[in-house]
Amino acid sequence: MREVTGLATDDLDRRIGRYIELHIEKTLAWSPPGPKEVERLKARLDREPKDAAARARLAEGMLSARQYDEAREHAERAVRDSAEAGPAEALVVLGLVSKMRDRDDAAALAAFEKAVEADADDFRARLYLGLAERATGSDSAVRTLERAHEMNPRFAQGIHVFGAPPLAELVVGMLRERGEAERARLAAERASRADPNDWKSSLFAGEA
């Protein structure tokens, strides 16, 4: 068996594969469907091919499995088959494919904007829109992310593909950089109430 810098090739491949899995896990703000659910979704779509919600969920599974072409295909069809603006979940998948595979920040931003238009109460759509705005230097980013934090103050995951720290930390930091001391304090207090063990008291004892 060939060795590569002290590692067997198959061991190196496993490590690279696990790194990519972690990259995906730290990018998705939700739990994607596992293999059994994917099979159930496919069976459902065989019976009801215009079920946009099921197809959007399948697109999430394809994205999680790094099957980007299939993810995009199912997401685009879910949008077409939807009676309204398209499932926000499917539009989020389209944005993430643009970001993760294509490295196209402008296309990702456009997809996340449509996702928020489709469902203004969808936390994931709001979160990714704010991160995409931040990546493209938009002044709207801080307010969008602040709103996402208001919607889900317990969300404590960083988003790897956007190089973003946990949401509360990001929002507080951005507000402090802008000199928005009162809004930073409110965001820090909101995070503290949601998870008292996750924040140091110095953040809200004058520093925020």
Return the half-sphere exposure (C-beta side, CA atoms, 13 A cut-off) of residue 90. Answer: 24
Per-residue pLDDT of the chain (208 residues; tens, 9 = 90+): 444 444 455 554 454 334 344 444 556 777 888 899 999 999 999 999 999 999 999 999 999 889 999 999 999 999 999 877 679 999 999 999 999 999 999 999 999 999 999 999 999 999 999 999 999 999 999 999 999 999 999 887 778 778 888 898 899 999 999 999 999 999 988 888 887 766 443 444 445 4
- Contact partners, residue 10, CB within 8 Å, separation at least 6: 1
| Token pair belonging to 80 | 């077409």
How far is the C-alpha of 79 from the C-alpha of 59, rounded, in Å? Answer: 11
Model-wide pTM > 0.85: no
